[in-house]
């Protein structure tokens, strides 16, 4: 489902959280009546606008349920006044709204909620103590399809920093989720009084004050929807099966019930439902890395060793076509493990600090009086967002910067150059004034073409902060690839490659082997590669001596016409 277009919600305000803190300190009717305008302006109206925008998304994305979507008090929106209470502490010090099934209420049904607290915004899934039919359904479904229930939680733990809490009947303190690998513990965990699974946002995070919070909440609700189905429907697995088919998802294997559990009569309860929950990324082994890159084992081990030092950033340097970006992506996949993350960007001359770290962006907004104003807000850049996400996880996060030398390094990195050298330190960012550090689980892989004249502009400050790993135009790599993938063309290609390698004396401008790595390679295609890829490159290299290209082309033609040796 594509994200909705925000129509009314413009973000919360710093005063939203100030009001709730003050209410907590002065929780009386007199104080509230004196500050009712602030309540409506900074808390009530933004929450109602948020739910108005989310309502169409709920009905269109999750049509299996008839949702209560009215952004009204007593419907989706809660009451700030605690019923039946007078005098001191008669108001809730948090304010929330929730989507639930029409005909029920928030207390007796499972809900997808947004809660505003003095120190945080919570978005998630909740089942309270009064929702006894929901608890009964959840317990039956777990007994019937326990492994699928387990897979739901595995999926959530892989998607982000979700918090899992229960309140047990005899205790009034939150209990975290057991290890999802412990199925028996999970099955006992569901016998609780309250269940909450949520993402939390700090008021210092800019997303809280922006319209795009709507899309962020939509994504969270999509993560939690399979759990909502599992908690509320009598045959959730079949329902998720049918949705998987509608999405074109391939069937998943049947579940083998765990010992001691009896599958209830009826249709197969676990045939395709796991397709709705993506399994963790398969582990990419060092052996696969070795096989797919055709590089020497010692070379790859050296890269791994360098990244394990305090300086967790390297740059692959070499002429075009030596596999720098390809190896960076493959190595990042190996390094990330089953739950890490990889992001790739490419620098260019127009790229700046504002795109990379943070910057101020003008934005036209509609005021509550109907006027338009230009505001200037701090927006996070790609690398800052990447680091903030990595900070909440322990898995390796790998950031690849392709053609790093094409950007203005000092302008893009700014004070980040200090953090690259001192990973344990913090800096204060110039726009947001937030303290920032690079998490220990973030690795940076850069690539740099030595044939690019801008390499001369790479200052020593950057060179001191990265390990530089040379990628040469190594004939052995090409030979290994040809022998496995294109043996019929191995002799001709190697002859031409060695000819070109010897003709170009400057190692920074050598012809890389990847130009020839085409599994459908034949003599006609090799001729096309020469005409439209290699010759233009050589003409640029020998722009002041075109006779060099002419003589080289004659020798290439002879090699292309040379018959293959027999036997």
What pLDDT band is residue 563 in, cutting at 50, 70 and 90?
low
pLDDT average, residue stretch 278-284:
58
Angle, CA 95 vertex, CA 90 and CA 97 arms, to 5°: 130
Share of the chain above pLDDT 90, in %: 47
Task: Pick 490 or 259 by higher pLDDT.
Answer: 490
Q: What are phi and psi of 268, to 5 degrees?
A: -55, 130
Please name the residues in contact with 170: beta carbons below 8 A apart, sequence gap of 6 or more: none
pLDDT at 564 over 60: no
Per-residue model confidence as pLDDT tens digits over 481-491: 999 999 999 99
Supply the pLDDT for residue 407: 86
What pLDDT band is residue 561 in, cutting at 50, 70 and 90?
confident
pLDDT average, residue stretch 516-532:
90
Domains of the chain: 14-276 (3.30.930.20), 286-470 (3.40.50.300), 475-561 (no CATH)
Supply the pLDDT for residue 176: 55
Supply the pLDDT for residue 178: 56
Lowest mean pLDDT among 33-42, 108-117, 146-155, 236-245: 236-245
Supply the pLDDT for residue 165: 78
Supply the pLDDT for residue 147: 79
Supply the pLDDT for residue 247: 41
Could you tell me the strand order of the sheet in which 442-449 lies?
A: 341-346, 397-402, 442-449, 313-318, 467-470
Task: Pick 180 or 90 by higher pLDDT.
Answer: 90
Alpha carbons 259 and 147: distance in angstroms, whole number: 12
Query: Which DSSP symbol is given to 81?
Result: B
Supply the pLDDT for residue 168: 58
pLDDT at 274 over 50: no
Supply the pLDDT for residue 363: 73
Q: Which residues pair with 176 in a beta bridge?
A: 165
pLDDT at 468 over 80: yes
pLDDT at 288 over 60: yes
Lowest mean pLDDT among 34-43, 259-268, 292-301, 356-365: 259-268
Task: Pick 309 or 4 by higher pLDDT.
Answer: 309
pLDDT average, residue stretch 159-188:
64
pLDDT at 537 over 80: yes
Mean pLDDT score across all residues of the chain = 83
The set of long-range contacts for 65-71, using a CB threshold of 8 Å and a minimum separation of 24, is: 65/101, 65/232, 66/101, 66/102, 66/103, 67/99, 67/100, 67/101, 67/102, 68/99, 68/100, 68/101, 68/102, 68/104, 69/99, 71/97
Supply the pLDDT for residue 512: 92
Supply the pLDDT for residue 262: 36
Q: What are phi and psi of 403, to 5 degrees?
A: 50, 55
pLDDT average, residue stretch 295-324:
93
Supply the pLDDT for residue 271: 31
What pLDDT band is residue 334 in, cutting at 50, 70 and 90?
very high
Supply the pLDDT for residue 175: 53
Alpha carbons 12 and 39: distance in angstroms, whole number: 12
What pLDDT band is residue 275 in, cutting at 50, 70 and 90?
very low
* H or E stretch covering 362: strand 358-366
Supply the pLDDT for residue 85: 74
Share of the chain above pLDDT 70, in %: 83
Angle, CA 11 vertex, CA 5 and CA 15 arms, to 5°: 170
Supply the pLDDT for residue 493: 93
What pLDDT band is residue 281 in, cutting at 50, 70 and 90?
low
Alpha carbons 123 and 199: distance in angstroms, whole number: 5
pLDDT at 124 over 50: yes
What pLDDT band is residue 174 in, cutting at 50, 70 and 90?
low
Burial of 453 (C-beta count, 10 Å sphere; 0-12/13-18/19+): exposed
Lowest mean pLDDT among 114-118, 413-417, 450-454, 469-473: 450-454
Supply the pLDDT for residue 459: 63
């Amino acid at each position: 489902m594509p994200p909705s277009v925000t129509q009314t919600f413009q973000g919360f305000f710093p005063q939203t959280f100030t009001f709730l803190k003050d209410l907590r300190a002065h929780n009386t009717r007199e104080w509230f009546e004196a500050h009712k305008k602030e309540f409506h302006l900074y808390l009530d109206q933004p929450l109602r606008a948020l739910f108005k925008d989310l309502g169409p998304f709920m009905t269109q994305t999750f049509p299996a349920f008839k949702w209560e979507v009215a952004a009204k008090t007593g419907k989706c929106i809660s009451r700030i006044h605690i019923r039946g209470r007078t005098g001191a502490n008669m108001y809730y010090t948090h304010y929330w709204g929730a989507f639930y099934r029409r005909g029920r209420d928030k207390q007796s049904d499972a809900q997808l909620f947004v809660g505003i607290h003095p120190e945080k915004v919570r978005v998630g899934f909740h089942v309270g103590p009064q929702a006894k039919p929901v608890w009964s359904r959840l317990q039956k479904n777990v007994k019937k399809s326990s492994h699928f229930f387990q897979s739901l939680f595995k999926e959530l733990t892989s998607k982000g920093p979700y918090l899992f809490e229960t309140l047990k009947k005899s205790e009034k303190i939150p209990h975290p989720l057991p290890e999802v690998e412990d199925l028996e513990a999970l099955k006992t965990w569901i016998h609780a009084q309250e269940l909450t699974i949520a993402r939390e946002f700090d008021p210092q995070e800019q997303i809280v004050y922006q319209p795009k919070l709507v899309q962020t909440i939509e994504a969270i609700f999509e993560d939690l929807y399979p759990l909502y189905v599992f908690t509320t429907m009598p045959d959730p697995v079949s329902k998720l099966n049918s949705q998987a088919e509608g999405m074109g998802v391939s069937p998943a294997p049947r579940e083998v019930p765990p010992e001691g559990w009896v599958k209830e009569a009826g249709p197969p309860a676990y045939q395709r439902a796991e397709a709705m929950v993506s399994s963790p990324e398969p582990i990419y082994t060092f052996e696969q890395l070795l096989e797919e890159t055709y590089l020497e084992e010692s070379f790859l081990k050296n890269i791994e060793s360098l990244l394990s030092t305090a300086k967790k950033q390297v740059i692959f340097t070499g002429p075009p076509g030596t596999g720098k970006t390809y190896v960076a992506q493959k190595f990042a996949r190996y390094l990330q493990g089953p739950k890490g993350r990889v992001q790739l960007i490419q620098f260019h001359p127009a790229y700046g600090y504002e795109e990379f770290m943070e910057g101020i962006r003008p934005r036209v907004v509609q005021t509550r009086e109907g006027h338009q104003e230009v505001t200037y807000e701090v927006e996070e850049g790609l690398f800052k967002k990447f680091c903030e996400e990595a900070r909440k996880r322990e898995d390796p996060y790998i950031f690849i910067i392709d053609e790093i030398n094409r950007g203005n390094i000092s302008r893009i990195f700014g004070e980040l150059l200090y953090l690259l050298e001192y990973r344990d330190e913090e800096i204060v960012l110039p726009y947001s004034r937030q303290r920032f550090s690079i998490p220990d689980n973030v690795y940076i892989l850069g690539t740099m073409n030595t044939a690019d004249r801008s390499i001369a502009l790479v200052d020593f400050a950057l060179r001191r902060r990265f390990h530089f790993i040379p990628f040469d135009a190594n004939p052995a790599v090409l030979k290994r690839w040809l022998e496995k993938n294109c043996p019929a063309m191995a002799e001709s290609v190697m002859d031409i490659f060695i000819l070109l390698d010897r003709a170009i004396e400057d190692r920074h401008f050598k012809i890389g082997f990847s130009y020839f790595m085409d599994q459908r390679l034949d003599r006609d295609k090799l001729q096309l590669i020469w005409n439209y890829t290699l010759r233009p490159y050589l003409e640029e290299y020998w722009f002041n001596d075109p006779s060099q290209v002419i003589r080289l082309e004659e020798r290439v033609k002879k090699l292309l016409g040379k018959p293959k040796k027999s036997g």
